[in-house]
Amino acid sequence: LQIGVPAETAAGERRVALVPDVVKRLAQQGMEVRVARGAGEGAFFSDAAYEAAGARIVTQEEAWAADLVVHVQPPSEEEIALLRSGSVLIGFLSPLDHPELAEKLARQGVTALAMELVPRISRAQKMDALSAMAAVAGYKAVLIAANLLPKFFPLLTTAAGTVRPASVLVLGAGVAGLQAIATARRLGARVSAYDIRDVVKEEVQSLGATFVELPFEVPDAQDVSGYAKALAEEKQRQQAQLLVPHIGRSDVVISTAQVPGRRAPVLITEEAVEAMQPGSVIIDLAAPNGGNCVLTQPGETVVRNGVQIVGPLNLPAEMPVHASQMYARTLLAMIQEFATSEGFQPNFEDEIFKGACVTYNGEVVNERVRALLA
Ligand code: NAD
């Protein structure tokens, strides 16, 4: 089985799908890994390191023409055209935001597995790329906030007086939110967190943060796969209104609330931003999906009343070494689950394969994606 690792071409993307360590493991299992020249450069992995791990350095076209191609970003149209009919593509494919991409992959005759759709069951934990990347983003978001905030995070007692710790509010305590809480706590901030799923309350508290409870009923906020459900518009407005005083008291807000396949919920209104002190910072990790703050501009920093609102689009790309390493491990787990040196074995009896597979045999096979295309 040939495995191709093309260089990423999306603007700002510095991750690479496989790192030399993982290439070595695959090579030892008899796979022929082809890495495009310079593919690891953004993440500081040299061609020489890949060669030493057993890979062959090839052109971008040769990497895309492998039996199995692994990638970070969804492929462009030009890249899809380089895939061979009958080949397999594994990577982030944004299937619910860009179902048209699935259609193009199907037309190209590619079997495509979306890392976003790997079901969140225990057996699939080692293939959970979303969680791995969310952890990177949650960590980095806090560092950016600490850097922008014109204040200390920790309590400081000095001869020049005592500095009170910064107040950090984390909205959405999923994987990114929990990592943000842990990171902000390590820096000494006072942290509180809110999530619509109150099942996370204990996790929040075990990290040393306060769980914000709103006088607001949301029966069964969680779906069967553990994700939050979207709220009705009126409920959503009520929720944002109730959050205003909590946001107003915070020096930093890290917002991470998402609902798969939907626009991110608005939790931070203009009124809430105006309630914050000048100099405060909002890092809106939901920016790629429209943002949790109404003022967020995806990919930009907006300043309103002295409050900086940052809408990062791809924080994992800013920590490319560990983000690539973690991502590569999740791909390794996928490859080991569904391929041998002889070839790739589609298995629709398998819950993970069935969940992640978007296209097969020239067709879009994932039901959620099909529904979006209908
Ligand atoms: P996500 O990125 O989809 O959303 C982030 C957080 O935003 C979630 O906690 C969600 O509840 C919250 N949210 C959504 N709408 C909200 C609103 N209106 N107000 C406040 N908060 C809101 O979530 P995620 O981090 O990918 O994780 C989702 C769930 O999956 C969690 O329960 C997580 O523990 C679980 N999970 C399970 C596994 C596994 O079992 N293998 C792996 C990873 C995550």
State the ipTM, two decimals.
0.93
Tell me the pLDDT tens digit for each residue of 66-100: 999 999 999 999 999 999 999 999 999 999 999 99
Query: What pLDDT, on the 0 to 100 scale, is given for residue 84?
Result: 98
pLDDT greater than 90 at residue 220: no
Which positions are annotated as active-site residues?
Answer: 120, 125, 128, 131, 227
β-pairing, 281-284 vs 301-304, is: unpaired
Pairing mode of beta strands 111-114, 156-158: unpaired
What value does the mean pLDDT take over residues 50-54?
98
Percentage of the chain surpassing pLDDT 90? Answer: 93
Query: Are 110 and 89 contacting, i.e. CB atoms less than 8 angstroms apart?
Result: yes
* Average pLDDT of the residues in 257-280: 95
- For every residue of 97-129, which 3-state class applies, written as one string? CCHHHHHHHHHCCCEEEEHHHCCCCHHHHHHCH
One-letter identity of residue 313: L
Confidence bin at 230 (pLDDT 50/70/90): confident
The share of the chain scoring above pLDDT 70, in percent, equals: 100
Q: Can you read off the two tokens belonging to residue 148? A: 């922008």
Helices (H), the chain: 20-28, 47-52, 60-64, 77-82, 99-107, 129-148, 175-186, 201-206, 233-248, 270-275, 320-338, 351-356, 367-373
Q: Is any atom of ligand 1 closer than 6 Å to the C-beta of 116?
A: no
What is the structure's pLDDT at 253?
A: 98
Q: Atom 9, ligand 1: which residue's CA is nearest?
A: 174
pLDDT score of 1: 96
Q: 231 CB under 6 A from ligand 1?
A: yes
Mutate which of 120, 169, 218, 267 for ligand 1? The one with the most ligand atoms within 8 Å of its CB, which is: 120
The pLDDT of residue 233 is above 90: no
Q: Is 173 in the pocket of ligand 1 (CB under 6 A)?
A: yes
Find, among 122, 95, 106, the residue nearest to 356 by Cα: 95
Give yes or no for residue 347 having a pLDDT over 90: yes
Mutation pick for ligand 1 pocket among 117, 131, 263 (CB with most ligand atoms within 8 Å): 131
Cβ of residue 269 lying under 6 Å from some atom of ligand 1: no
Q: What is the Å distance from ligand 1's center to 121 Cα?
A: 14
Indicate if ligand 1 lies below 6 Å from the C-beta of 178: no
Q: How much is the mean pLDDT over the chain?
A: 96
Q: Which of 116, 241, 258, 262 to mutate to test the pocket of ligand 1 (most atoms within 8 A of CB)?
A: 258
For 304-326, what is the mean pLDDT? 98
Q: Is the pLDDT of residue 218 over 80?
A: no
Q: Which pLDDT belongs to residue 47?
A: 98
Question: Which pLDDT band holds residue 217 (cuts at 50, 70, 90)?
Answer: confident
Residue 214 beta carbon below 6 angstroms from any ligand 1 atom: no
pLDDT at 41 (0 to 100): 98
pLDDT tens per residue, range 130-160? 999 999 999 999 999 999 999 999 999 999 9
Q: Using the mean position of ligand 1's atoms as its centre, give its distance from the Cα of residue 61 in Å.
A: 38
**Cα atoms in the Cβ-side hemisphere of radius 13 Å centred on 132:** 25
